[in-house]
Structure 1
Amino acid sequence: MTMMKFPKDFWWGAATSVTQSEGTVPGDGKGDNIWDYSSRVFNNRFYDGVTTQDTSRFYAEYQDDIQRMQGIGLNSLRTSISWSRLIPDASGHVNATAVQFYRDVFARMRDAGVKPFVNLFHFDLPMYLQEQGGWENKDTIAAYRRYAEVCFEQFGDLVDTWFTFNEPMIPAEAGYLHDRHYPFVVDFRRAAQVLHNIVVAHCEAISAFRQTHLPTNIGIIMDVIPVYPRSQNPADLKAAHMADLFYTRSLNEVILKGSYPEELVSILKQYDQLPAEITAGELDLIRNTKIDLLGINYYRPRRVKTRDSEPNRHGIFSPEWFFDAYEMPGRRMNTSRGIEIYPEAIYDIAKKIDNEYPDIPWFVSENGIGIQNEEQFIQDGMVQDDYRIDFLKEHLYYLHKAIQEGSHCLGYHMWTFVDCWSWMNAYKNRYGFYRLDLDTGEKSVKKSGIWFHQLIEDNGFEYSKE
């Protein structure tokens, strides 16, 4: 057994988002966001028909939940602010009840020794903006900047670490190309416009933050899916190159290097898929915007191979024209989610950051395992989730290895703190250190929560890779 010790002042915490955890109560003044709307109007798409109203009750129970954070030793927690709670309608008025709520949340977290990491946008566009075109509409960029300014003004004295977006690729890819999220559009060119506008909005928020002169930090959180080819055959290598170009470099390079990859621009020109509205001023803004901190979300690898068949060139343009998914024989699976478990990728991500973005401090902002029917593992009133502890140990082993080799990783946040509502799966898969009983509302610590507390106390853990 070897003791895996982590750097002093390492961020040990968890991550969540408001739509997935807050819920609503009568008189709270909150307006609808796209998930409130779609989980009602397209209810059949959501597992067991659970809507955003029936989430983890943080809005009503935040004082107790903050004590629970403290109870398992968290020194930090990433959450978000609900844009549609803070600015509920198109009039632009600020909801004073929301201001008081978030101020109390952040102040109590600080008092409990839990540093609030606050994200401005986690997929939850206000419905009044979606009705005006959403992220396809340039006016949404201005509305987002104004929302960010309100947040900095109202909460800047309580928040040390800000993030503009969580996984900015997802609203474009899942909402405008692959029919997973509302508004359920399938159109690459529209998806590209959405992504570009989100990138510009990110830059506008950074600009607004710099103008406040707050002595704090701001960054962004990326969803990183490392790409692995089936083989070293040139055709498979090309497939992996294209998957990485479309799904990783298209976003990483514009945010972290200040411009879109030339190869991507050339391909989109060839297929007439460039966004219709990109200005020179926007490209200048992108080029001159720098972040202070990078969050990396990692859940699964992407394995690809060269295509087995020619795509339908008369169909809808898609990155998948250039590669096929590859199901590697013997891969280890989380059968609840249908995704591969591959801890080694944490190390590969760390090395990629070290090599390509060496001046940007970073941390693991999400990593976790969702399990269906977790109640089957309850013994003596507690979920005995040894599988989650094993998952943690394996991923932290590879993160520790990268840190020992010099990677500038500042922390690790597990998804999530209390079992939360997921975007289409609702409560099908459970991720939390605390179990939520949907019938009674009771929240009870799992075995993994106790283990994580000890990890934080020791700032490390004993581990044998054999």
Structure 2
Amino acid sequence: MQNIVFDKDFLWGCATASYQVEGAIEEDGRKPSIWDTFCSQDGTIMNGDDGSIAADQYHRYKEDVQLMSDLNFQAYRFSIAWPRILPEGRGTVNQKGLEYYINLSQELHSKGIKVVATLYHWDLPQVLQDEGGWAVRSTAYAFAEYAKVCFEALGPYVDQWITLNEPFCTAYLGYLQGIHAPGIKNPQQAYNAVHYLNLAHGLAILEYRKSGLKAQIGTTLNPSLPRPASRKAEDVRAARYARAIFTDVFLLPLVGKGYPVEVTQDMHISFPIQSGDMQIIAQPIDFIGINYYMERAVVLDESDLFLHREVPSWQRTTNQDWPIVPYGLLRILKYFDTVTNGLALYITENGCASDDELVEGRVHDHFRCDYINEHLAACKQAIDEGVNLKGYFVWSFMDNFEWAWGYSRRFGIIYVDYESQERFPKDSAYMMRDIISGYCEY
């Protein structure tokens, strides 16, 4: 048994994303996103699920905020739905959409909970995808316009801003593997998306600095630093390749170090860089968010597009077959601390899917409790070793639409009965309450 104690100024939060929890996809002027379109296609989502109702937070946000308050959470990280704010992707602003996020923010503040707003968590307006989506340069500028609208309207209410969530997933899952919206399988479009997402972030930061707002702003990555499966030089190199293509193409440009040579030279991948782009991307930011769930092992495979291949792991897995490797989070935190020269870091997502069962109003998800505890121990070790880690947001606050998995996987610390929309705190929710209180032995 151990008692891990964090400093009193460590920020404890919970997180969700607009399309995963809001529902109300046709209300108050919202227009379709790429996920609405993707879900409507046969075979894309498990069980034919979609986000049309999700956890109905659009109508139930007051209830959810009260639950957050009851559990002692200090911050709520949510995302703003671009199609609610600019239904046509750019141009006319939808005031009803802004009002929802103002009301949500005011409700959070009334309970003493900080507002952490993510501008983009994957729900690109479909009209912009019709123009080429993230594979074309104009989308980065449309994002900057959207960001400016949000800064101007929501600036007084937001305590912390995040530009993008996991550009890795947008670029590679959406444009390379095709398993996320918009469902494209085209390597060059994926590489274009990498660069235009990076550019969109930089353009948004420029707009923010012009706004005069003082809240902190950063971005969120889901870094992948697979470990080599052996001590062989080729497998060590394979791990470096994996880190370069999945993490460094997003991280290094943020800190002014450009795209990694392993990608541009060894993999012969080109990005559509124009003069001044890299300076825009490298605008100073206040923090980086890290989403972490798992780590895998790799070996060299020169026949692979990215020169490496994953091999089986020995660790316990979640019900998504994701290996549980808390030490991997420590390695990532230390790597980011080194590359960014001590920039403030936040864990903006961490959690797991498990086989939760509701019995007489209770869910005894001790598997999730163990997962969270093990990763918090890694966070505390990182802090003890000098990493500037400032907070932790559990994923997810509530069960929700889990993208291609539909509603078949539950990540929440709150159980959602999707038929009645009734909420039930799981044991992990009560554990988080005790951790935030400052005393929790496990």
Match of 2:31 in 1: 31
Is 1:278 paired with 2:281? Answer: no
Which structure 2 residues correspond to residues 256-335 of structure 1 after superposition, within 5 A?
A: 256-268=255-267, 271=268, 273-275=269-271, 277-287=272-282, 289-307=283-301, 311=303, 318-319=305-306, 322-328=307-313, 330-334=314-318
Match of 1:450 in 2: 430
Deviation at 1:285, TM superposition (A): 1.9
Q: Secondary structure in 1 aligned to 2:122?
A: coil
Instruction: Write out the 4+ residue segments of structure 1 that deviate beyond 4 Å after TM superposition.
Output: none
Asked if structure 2 preserves the Cα contact closer than 8 Å seen for 1:13 and 1:412, the reply is: yes
Which structure 2 residues correspond to residues 86-165 of structure 1 after superposition, within 5 A?
A: 86-89=85-88, 92-165=91-164
Match of 1:314 in 2: none
Deviation at 1:257, TM superposition (A): 3.2
Q: Secondary structure in 2 aligned to 1:411?
A: strand
Alignment equivalent of 2:388, drawn from 399, 403, 408: 408
Aligned-pair Cα RMSD in Å: 1.6
Using a 3 Å threshold, how does the CA distance of structure 1 residues 25 and 252 change in structure 2: closer, same or farther? Answer: closer
Deviates more, 1:212-221 or 1:251-260: 251-260
Deviates more, 1:177-186 or 1:122-131: 177-186
**Deviations 1:102-132 (Å, cap 9, x if unpaired)?**
1110111011111111000011110010001
Deviates more, 1:120-129 or 1:246-255: 246-255
Asked if structure 1 preserves the Cα contact closer than 8 Å seen for 2:326 and 2:374, the reply is: yes
Asked if structure 2 preserves the Cα contact closer than 8 Å seen for 1:300 and 1:339, the reply is: yes
Asked if structure 1 preserves the Cα contact closer than 8 Å seen for 2:241 and 2:263, the reply is: no
Q: Secondary structure in 2 aligned to 1:379?
A: coil
**Deviations 1:42-90 (Å, cap 9, x if unpaired)?**
1422112111102010001111111111111110111010000111125
Q: Secondary structure in 1 aligned to 2:390?
A: strand
**Deviations 1:418-460 (Å, cap 9, x if unpaired)?**
11111111111111111111111111111111111111112x4
Asked if structure 2 preserves the Cα contact closer than 8 Å seen for 1:242 and 1:323, the reply is: yes
Distance (Å, rounded) in 1 between the aligned partners of 2:26 and 2:201: 32
Deviation at 1:25, TM superposition (A): 6.2
Match of 2:372 in 1: 392
**Unaligned 5+ runs, structure 1:** 312-316
Distance (Å, rounded) in 1 between the aligned partners of 2:387 and 2:213: 28
Asked if structure 1 preserves the Cα contact closer than 8 Å seen for 2:203 and 2:281, the reply is: no
Distance (Å, rounded) in 1 between the aligned partners of 2:418 and 2:43: 19
Deviation at 1:29, TM superposition (A): 1.0
Using a 3 Å threshold, how does the CA distance of structure 1 residues 140 and 461 change in structure 2: closer, same or farther? Answer: same
Opposite residue 333 of structure 1, the aligned amino acid is T
Match of 1:349 in 2: 332
Distance (Å, rounded) in 2 between the aligned partners of 1:428 and 1:215: 41
Distance (Å, rounded) in 2 between the aligned partners of 1:409 and 1:83: 29
Q: Secondary structure in 2 aligned to 1:390?
A: helix
Distance (Å, rounded) in 1 between the aligned partners of 2:211 and 2:258: 26
Distance (Å, rounded) in 2 between the aligned partners of 1:282 and 1:442: 48
Asked if structure 2 preserves the Cα contact closer than 8 Å seen for 1:168 and 1:198, the reply is: yes
Opposite residue 325 of structure 1, the aligned amino acid is E
Deviation at 1:141, TM superposition (A): 1.5
Using a 3 Å threshold, how does the CA distance of structure 1 residues 91 and 212 change in structure 2: closer, same or farther? Answer: closer
Distance (Å, rounded) in 2 between the aligned partners of 1:137 and 1:264: 20
Q: How many residues align?
A: 442
Asked if structure 1 preserves the Cα contact closer than 8 Å seen for 2:256 and 2:279, the reply is: no
Opposite residue 409 of structure 1, the aligned amino acid is L
Instruction: Calculate percent identity across the aligned residue pairs.
Output: 31
Q: Secondary structure in 2 aligned to 1:132?
A: coil
Deviation at 1:190, TM superposition (A): 1.5
**Unaligned 5+ runs, structure 2:** none
Asked if structure 1 preserves the Cα contact closer than 8 Å seen for 2:121 and 2:165, the reply is: yes
Q: Secondary structure in 2 aligned to 1:44?
A: coil
Distance (Å, rounded) in 2 between the aligned partners of 1:246 and 1:189: 14
Distance (Å, rounded) in 2 between the aligned partners of 1:8 and 1:326: 41
